[in-house]
Structure 1
Amino acid sequence: MERFPIESEAYKQIVREKSLIRIKAPNLMGKSSLVDRIIDYALLQDYKTVSLNLNTVPETTLIDIDKFLRWFSLSVTKAITKDNKLRDYWDVELFGSVQSCTDYFEEYLLTNIDCPLVLCLDNLDRLFQYPTVTKDFLEMLRDWYEKGNNISIWKKLRLVIAHSTTDYINQGINYSPFNVGFPLQLPKFNEIQVLDLAQRHQLDWKKEAEIEVLMAMVGGHPYLVRKAMFESSYHNIELKKLLKDADEGTGIYNDHLRRILTQLQKTPEVLEALK
């Protein structure tokens, strides 16, 4: 499902020099899907592409900036070349991890490709639990973006960052990648899009009978909408019956609600406010 003009704007931005696209939306709204579309479009332009899901980074790596930047650099290296030269550029004692990572990208990775590099970082907010790593990493990304103004080699880099929350480190206006580049906020599906999606699931739903009922419960949330459609289509169950116990322990939204409950239980003050 395309949400015009989100995709077309992303495609326009990714072909521009030193572009930075910021995708923000709550969980399960389609950020990863949009990242995949951007990657596919970049591949059609014969660009090099790397997509890193930061939810896959081991926790032991996230507690140390040097370990994290080594993981980051090696992950990009494996995606675009098999020739690892990290030892030739990495000198923590003299230059520090951030400068070593920057030198590695500038003098090796970007220099040895003859096309733009699209680097997508999905679930960036995973880092926010580790303030020291987050601060240095975000400042580095902002610095790379700014380098594109004056250093031609950095114009090759196209950054795409996707995140769910604005609860990131307060670094000040000049040190964060979250106030530069091109922002994209993913909206919920509207009634026309929900109806279109129902037809793709081969459901003979009507606007008044099913679409409005479903949206009254979950709005146009992409995951929740599609979950109901999949269950109705695959198991041949009427929507009314599905929604009757949707919020119960055995209902179709049980897993989704339990994930939210787990998050709320981690922050008692938020749970109390919700009550």
Structure 2
Amino acid sequence: MIVKFLNKLLDRNPQPAPIIPTEKTGLIKISGCDNPKRKGDIIFVHGLGGGARTTWHPQELDNDDNFWPMWLAKERSDLGIWCFGYNAAPFEWKGSTMPLFDRAGNLLEYLTINNIREHPLIFITHSMGGLLVKEMLRNAQTFNKTKVIEKTQGIVFLSTPHTGSHLADLVTNIGTFTRSTISVDELKSHIPQLRQLNEWYRQNVDKMAITTKVYFETQAILGILVVDPDSANPGIKDVQPTATDENHISITKPKSPNNLVYQGVSRFIQAQLSNIPSQPEPKSSNLVYIPRPKIENQCFESILQPGVLLRIKSPRKMGKTTLMRQIFAHAKEAGYQTVSINLWSPEILTDLHTFLQSFCAILSLELGLEDKTDQLWKPTLSNQTNCTNYLKKYILANLDTPLVLGLDNIDEIFPYTEITQQFSALLRGWKENPNNEESLQKLRLVISHSENVYVSLNVNQSPFNVGLPVEIGEFNFTQSQELVEKYGLNLSDVDINKLREMIDGHPYLLTTALDKITKDNLTVEQFIKIAPTDESPYRSFLANLLHELENDQFLKTTMQQVINSDISIKIDSEQAFKLRSLGLIELHGNEVKCLCNLYCIYFKSQFSNAKTS
């Protein structure tokens, strides 16, 4: 359609066309939109001069289903596929248009009335459509309509002018032939509003946990590269824009499912939405599982990459092991071998030789292979070399598929300095060498830990500063609501907030509370009353935390400072990391605050009793 407008633009005697409504406006159902059990919604949003359906069709047909929204629907019948149409005429004589800010509010309202924000969302956007979606999210944040943000898993930008479009420049340069509309004016290169919108998205995209995928054109239309590579790049860390052999129009019109853009978007959707294993309804807190889709999808996509290293870090009892199980389940679905090893018993941690031989022996047995450490361990070689050779030449050589190796709670070895240093160097070497070692391409590593590494490690030999860092923390309000629903409890938002004031969104504390409330038929007020007492289901848990503090006088003194302050305070950084690894505090920049009222009440009582005894 824009090609037609450009041709009209270059006509020496253009005549205004009658004002007619655009082909279709609002949310257009393509497939699966009425399925209440669908796993997600995909929404196509066209750009300047486009149409709800025609933008995505190879021949710009409005009434033909042989286009990629329908191809996606055939691939994934469990998803709702939608197209959003709106007036965005390139030239004033084509029709009236709505300013971007108003149109963003319009889209947000359509999502609300169609209940689309009840399911995970992915937007596929072209040109100005990408700006529209970004502005919609900014509106949602401004007006506290956070549900649509929480449900948005990803955005695909196809030639979106994040810093301006040469089409707008073209209109400006030959303005004697045409009058630009509000839509075109908003696209003029580097105008303050556009820069502010892109800066807002860059600063907030990580906080919103939205995954971004970018494609850009490399072919000109009538000598014009409408959106150049610099303008198409949103400048987000770790987001590498993908070049296509397309122009500004053809990039949205794959002719077959073999097209680069179609295949890439299909995989993007697969990674963001469809790879979260379904979970059975829990019967107890041991079976409770609340998905963290944005984190999980990132891990699921990464674990399929050769030589990857995932580093899961969180305070204790936040769900590191549960997340590792989800990663393993996904890897098994892909046909990979998985092994989780816990080598942190004292009899194995006596010396490096014993530790590494035990590691190789247990790994062999877990994979159903004979333990050949005695035969293959060469006395003339170092323990590290023997371990690496055993892994490459025996373990991986006998596997036909990739191996996902999990090392849970690896911080248990931190007190053993030599083992920590040497084993860390091994892990870093296995991560760094897959490009040069074909056999190591089969290996994927997943390590989890609660504490920071206090052992002195060479920065070039540490596995804790490479790979994909994955940090998980407390549940937010929405996740807390979901957990309450899984227990079948009818708690109001007020009750949930009261519970969160006492125990925050700590996964273990929350599931334990809901277990107690369910089994003993308690009200929230009754549970809150017993939570910090000897009747508490946390009694042993709290006693263990107290024991940790009593064994470290400096840490105990620091915790006393924290609980005696009603505001965030600054403490020694090492003590802050230790308290956070125990899950006792939350970080606020360079300051800290006690995580929840439960800890404040309990530790104040215990420290006070110690003084009087």
Give the equivalent residue in structure 2 for 1:43. 332
Alpha-carbon offset, residue 196 of structure 1: 0.9
Alpha-carbon offset, residue 224 of structure 1: 0.4
Note the residue ranges of structure 1 that are not aligned, 5 or more in a row.
Answer: none
Give the equivalent residue in structure 2 for 1:110. 396
Alpha-carbon offset, residue 217 of structure 1: 1.4
Asked if structure 1 preserves the Cα contact closer than 8 Å seen for 2:406 and 2:447, the reply is yes
**Per-residue CA distance 1:111-132 (angstroms, 9 max, x = gap):** 1111100000000000001111
Q: 2: CA distance between counterparts of 1:187 and 1:165?
A: 14
Larger CA deviation: 252-261 vs 216-225: 252-261
Letter matched to residue 291 of structure 2: E
1:24 aligns with 2:313: yes
**Per-residue CA distance 1:71-125 (angstroms, 9 max, x = gap):** 111111011123222222212x311211111110111111111110000000000
Alpha-carbon offset, residue 238 of structure 1: 1.3
Q: 2: CA distance between counterparts of 1:158 and 1:219?
A: 34
**Per-residue CA distance 1:45-94 (angstroms, 9 max, x = gap):** 1111101134xx32021121111111111111011123222222212x31
**Per-residue CA distance 1:213-270 (angstroms, 9 max, x = gap):** 0111121110001110011011211121111021112212212211111111111111
Q: 2: CA distance between counterparts of 1:167 and 1:153?
A: 29
Give the equivalent residue in structure 1 for 2:406. 120
Letter matched to residue 300 of structure 2: Y
**Per-residue CA distance 1:184-233 (angstroms, 9 max, x = gap):** 0002111111111101101110111x110011112111000111001101
1:86 aligns with 2:368: no
Give the equivalent residue in structure 1 for 2:431. 145
Q: 2: CA distance between counterparts of 1:53 and 1:236?
A: 38
Q: 2: CA distance between counterparts of 1:168 and 1:64?
A: 19
Secondary structure, counterpart of 2:399 in structure 1: coil
Which residue of 461, 464, 467 corresponds with 1:178?
A: 464
1:236 aligns with 2:482: no
Alignment of 1:68-87 (within 5 A): 68-87=355-374
Asked if structure 2 preserves the Cα contact closer than 8 Å seen for 1:242 and 1:252, the reply is no
**Per-residue CA distance 1:147-198 (angstroms, 9 max, x = gap):** 1121111010000000001134221320100111101000211111111110
Secondary structure, counterpart of 1:95 in structure 2: coil
Q: 1: CA distance between counterparts of 2:525 and 2:537?
A: 12
Note the residue ranges of structure 2 that are not aligned, 5 or more in a row.
Answer: 1-289, 561-613
Give the equivalent residue in structure 1 for 2:510. 225
Q: 2: CA distance between counterparts of 1:149 and 1:13?
A: 16
Asked if structure 2 preserves the Cα contact closer than 8 Å seen for 1:29 and 1:222, the reply is yes
Q: 1: CA distance between counterparts of 2:462 and 2:454?
A: 10
Aligned residue pairs, count: 271
TM-score with structure 1 setting the length: 0.95
Asked if structure 1 preserves the Cα contact closer than 8 Å seen for 2:339 and 2:363, the reply is yes
Asked if structure 2 preserves the Cα contact closer than 8 Å seen for 1:125 and 1:168, the reply is no
Give the equivalent residue in structure 2 for 1:65. 352
Asked if structure 1 preserves the Cα contact closer than 8 Å seen for 2:480 and 2:505, the reply is yes
Which structure has more RCO (C-alpha within 8 Å, separation ≥ 6)? 1
Asked if structure 2 preserves the Cα contact closer than 8 Å seen for 1:49 and 1:119, the reply is yes
Q: 2: CA distance between counterparts of 1:196 and 1:146?
A: 40
Asked if structure 1 preserves the Cα contact closer than 8 Å seen for 2:424 and 2:461, the reply is yes
Letter matched to residue 527 of structure 2: L
RMSD over aligned CA atoms reads: 1.1
Letter matched to residue 554 of structure 2: E
Secondary structure, counterpart of 2:446 in structure 1: strand
Asked if structure 2 preserves the Cα contact closer than 8 Å seen for 1:228 and 1:239, the reply is no
Query: Aligned residues: percent identity?
Result: 34
Which residue of 553, 557, 561 corresponds with 1:272?
A: 557
Give the equivalent residue in structure 2 for 1:53. 342
Secondary structure, counterpart of 1:203 in structure 2: coil
Give the equivalent residue in structure 2 for 1:191. 477
Q: 2: CA distance between counterparts of 1:83 and 1:59?
A: 25
Larger CA deviation: 66-75 vs 152-161: 66-75
Asked if structure 1 preserves the Cα contact closer than 8 Å seen for 2:361 and 2:372, the reply is no
Q: 1: CA distance between counterparts of 2:346 and 2:470?
A: 29
More helix by share: 1
